[in-house]
Amino acid sequence: MLTGLDHLVVTVTDISRAVDFYSRVLGLDVRYRDAQRVDLMLGDTALRLHQTDTDIAPISATPTPGSLDLCLRCLLPLDEFQQHLDALGIEVELGPVARQGANGAIESVYLRDPDGNLLEICRPAR
């Protein structure tokens, strides 16, 4: 019946700050839909940014910056990704650690975006 995820809305306090982080730190492509909506592309799926003080409807019952816990797959080996984070001054909160992903064993590092959302960056376990 359902085939996948089209987009996921991320509530943020400042769209330009979020765009900078997700494009500079995570390498996501940015597509501006209009002044209030921006898509950060993950292949054919989007993280759609909504700023807390904008009037977009419909929205979730309690849109809250910092409430997201998201796992993203990485093409780079995690040690290379961590070197990239180190060069940008981005703190790794935890990892690398072994975890179970949607399709099997993964190795992950955890960090936070500017709004405090937890981002797990993973690779298939070796």
What pLDDT, on the 0 to 100 scale, is given for residue 54? 83
What pLDDT, on the 0 to 100 scale, is given for residue 35? 72
Provide the annotated active-site residues.
Answer: 120
At a CB cut-off of 8 Å and minimum separation 6, what does 85 contact?
A: 25, 91, 92, 109, 111
Does residue 124 or residue 36 have the better pLDDT?
A: 124
What pLDDT, on the 0 to 100 scale, is given for residue 2? 85
Q: pLDDT band for 90, please (50, 70, 90 cuts).
A: very high
Encoding tokens for residue 67? 């409430």
Q: How many Å separate Cα 77 from the centre of its chain?
A: 18
At a CB cut-off of 8 Å and minimum separation 6, what does 22 contact?
A: 28, 30, 40, 47, 113
* Residue-wise pLDDT tens digits, 3-39: 999 999 999 999 999 999 999 999 999 999 887 789 9
DSSP sequence for 22-44: IIIIT--EEEE-SSSEEEEEETT
What share of the chain has pLDDT > 70, as a percent? 100
| pLDDT above 90: residue 102 | yes
75-102 average pLDDT score: 96
What pLDDT, on the 0 to 100 scale, is given for residue 57? 83
